[in-house]
Structures are given as structure tokens and as C-alpha cells.
Amino acid sequence: MTSPAPHPSRLDPARRDYAAILEAHDRAQAAGERSYLDPSSGLVVQTRDAHLARGTCCESGCRHCPWVGADS
């Protein structure tokens, strides 16, 4: 199952690594993991499900925050 794409202000769809990032995210979510390694930077990134489990936005600019743009 594919997750909704991150808000464009958090992940620019024009990035060359955009598809690889979404694939890494979706693989992590399918495996029930709360994070994945960014394929370009190697940094740990929380999945959308990890944010939903927390229940609120932390205002840290997270890539997969499900609340970005929710009220617009």
C-alpha cells in the first residue's frame, strides 16, 4: 500500500531522488518500521505512521508529517 506523498514543502517532487525516497518510506511502512534511512543522505527519517502514532505535530518540519497542509 502506498502512503500519501509528503507535502511539497517537505519533499520537493522535482528532486532526482524523490521516487527512491518514497519507495524507502513505503518499504519501511509495509514492514511495520517507524523509520527508514534516507537513500541520499543516510539520515534516519520517521515514517508517516510513526507521526500518526505520536498523535500531534511536533513543529520540527518532519518530511512525512501528516498534519502539514491539513487545515488549508
10-47 pLDDT, tens digit each? 999 999 999 999 999 999 999 999 999 999 999 999 99
Flag whether 1 is in a domain.
no
pLDDT tens digit sequence for 41-66: 999 999 999 999 999 999 999 999 99
Flag whether 20 is in a domain.
yes
- What is the tally of structural domains in the chain? 1
Flag whether 3 is in a domain.
no
**Residue owning grid cell 502512503:** 3
Flag whether 4 is in a domain.
no
Which residue range is the domain that position 19 belongs to? 11-72
Flag whether 50 is in a domain.
yes
Flag whether 5 is in a domain.
no
Q: What b/e sequence results for 15-46 when a residue is b if at least 16 CB atoms lie within 10 Å of its CB, and e otherwise?
A: eeeeeebbebbbebbeeeeeebebeeeeeebb
- The grid cell for 68 is 502539514
Predicted local distance difference test score (pLDDT) of residue 8: 95
